[in-house]
Amino acid sequence: MQGREALIDLQHVGKIYRMGEVEVAALCDIFLTVEEGEFVAIMGASGSGKSTLMNILGCLDRPTSGRYLLAGRDVSQLSRNELAEIRNRLLGFVFQSFNLLPRTSAVDNVGLPLQYAGVSPHERRQRAADALRRVGLSDHLRHYPNQMSGGQQQRVAIARALVTQPKLILADEPTGNLDSRTSIEIMALLQELWRCGMTVLMVTHEFDIAAYASRQLVMKDSTKVTIFPKGNCCVSLSAMLQAQVWCCFAAKWRLLVRQTPGRNLQRTVPPHRSGPVRINTPPHLLLPASVSPSPPAQLPQRR
Ligand SMILES: Nc1ncnc2c1ncn2[C@@H]1O[C@H](COP(=O)(O)OP(=O)(O)O)[C@@H](O)[C@H]1O
Ligand SMILES: [Mg+2]
């Protein structure tokens, strides 16, 4: 493990939604390990289970089967109150639509999670101001959301996610409501936080946004396959073609692994590791990916 520990460890995780007599299997037998200091992007078609997975990872929902170990603790069967306590202590959330309180200043929006944690007003304001400084908004402490651009509002939301000093930031389509230029700024900020040691897990459907992460996963029909780790160039048409080839391959491959109990589709590519890659997949199920772990040397250019 070279000093890194698994922050997220999903084992055999499944989620079935029941609506009367109808059952929807949103997640099937998911294995996922995310180590501290990784930046993981989860992609996939609509309905493939991304939000369900994020809800479970974010302790907003519980799996119907399997185990979820978060920072070494099994959280799969905790009560709602216990999950809320874990969320407040370990996790920071960033949403597509920012989710800021409209009639509340930036500094008070950012201080809100600290209020839930019982922190005094004075310390709250100080820590919120520090978090806003960290995202480049020290001049906007007293601004209201409607006095800020979309990118600035998302920065406030990221400051709010940071203010409790979480172990993990979960971002669901963080650039979904932003134009291309602002998306680059927000992704650069998330990447900077990752470079400073934060673990980030993000859902996106855009290849060039996923390219900022150190590892990309694709959800397919309620399961997950790992695609190529990104190089230092931008994800271009060839990468998209490569992903499509992967998906075709994965479809065939799943036919093979479906009959294999205890399968593990996950391979781990820590961002800064230069040595051999640890592969959890049984040797007979290995994906033929060439893995070249390296942190992004430069920001990908958007087309
Ligand atoms: N609360 C729910 N009740 C019933 N079915 C749901 C619920 N949430 C999601 N689903 C179903 O689970 C599957 C996965 O959904 P979701 O996780 O939202 O996918 P994605 O985020 O990739 O679009 C879909 O078939 C969806 O209709
Ligand atoms: Mg979704």
Domains present along the chain, CATH in parentheses: 6-285 (3.40.50.300)
Would the CB of 17 count as within 6 Å of ligand 1?
yes
* Cα dihedral sign, 83-88-91-93: positive
Atom of ligand 1 nearest to the CA of 52: 17
Q: How would residue 116 be classed by pLDDT, with cut points 50, 70 and 90?
A: confident
Residue 244, pLDDT score:
53
Does ligand 1 come within 6 angstroms of the Cβ of 48? yes
Amino acid identity of 163? V
Half-sphere exposure of 146 (CA within 13 A, CB side): 4
- Residues 4 and 60 sit within 8 Å (Cβ to Cβ): no
The residues placing their C-beta within 5 Å of ligand 2, an ion, are 51
Distance CA 74, CA 230 (A): 31
Whether 256 has a pLDDT exceeding 70, the answer reads no
Residue 168 — φ and ψ, nearest 5°?
A: -145, 135
**For residues 243 and 227, what is the distance between their CA atoms, to the nearest angstrom?**
7
Ligand 1 touching residue 24 (CB < 6 A):
yes
Weakest-pLDDT range from 66-75, 92-101, 181-190, 231-240 = 231-240
Verify whether ligand 1 is closer than 6 Å to residue 220 (CB atom): no
C-alpha to C-alpha distance for 31 and 27, rounded to whole angstroms: 11
Which atom in ligand 1 lies closest to the alpha carbon of residue 46? 23
Question: What's the Cα-to-Cα distance from 4 to each of 8, 108, 233, 271, rounded to whole Å?
Answer: 12, 35, 27, 11
Which of 17, 18, 57 has the most ligand 1 atoms within 8 A of CB, as the residue to mutate? Answer: 17
Q: What is the pLDDT of residue 221?
A: 74
118 pLDDT higher than 80: yes
> Cα angle at 289 between 286 and 293, to 5 degrees?
115
19 lines ligand 1 (CB under 6 A): yes
Q: What average pLDDT does the segment 109-127 reach?
A: 95
Ligand 1 pocket check: which of 13, 22, 24 to mutate, most ligand atoms within 8 Å of Cβ?
24
Is the shortest distance between the CB of 22 and ligand 1 below 6 Å? Answer: no
- Answer yes or no: is the C-beta of 51 below 6 A from any ligand 1 atom: yes
Cβ contact 265:249 at 8 Å = no
Q: Is 299 in contact with 212 (CB distance < 8 Å)?
A: yes
pLDDT band, residue 115 (cuts 50/70/90): very high
The answer to whether residues 150 and 167 touch, using CB atoms and an 8 Å cutoff, is: no
Residues 6+ apart with CB under 8 A from 266: 31, 32, 33, 224, 226, 280, 281
* Beta strand pairing call for 6-19 and 215-220: unpaired
Which ligand lies nearest to the CA atom of residue 50 in the structure?
1
For residue 49 and ligand 1, the question of a CB distance below 6 A is answered with: yes
Q: Is the pLDDT of residue 99 over 80?
A: yes
Q: Closest-lying ligand to the alpha carbon of 64?
A: 1
CA 99/CA 106 separation, integer angstroms: 12
Task: Give the separation between CA 202 and CA 267, rounded to whole angstroms.
Answer: 17
Regarding the beta carbon of 16 and ligand 1, being less than 6 Å apart is answered no
- Give me the pLDDT at residue 5, please: 67
Distance, CA of 172 to CA of 176 (rounded, Å): 9
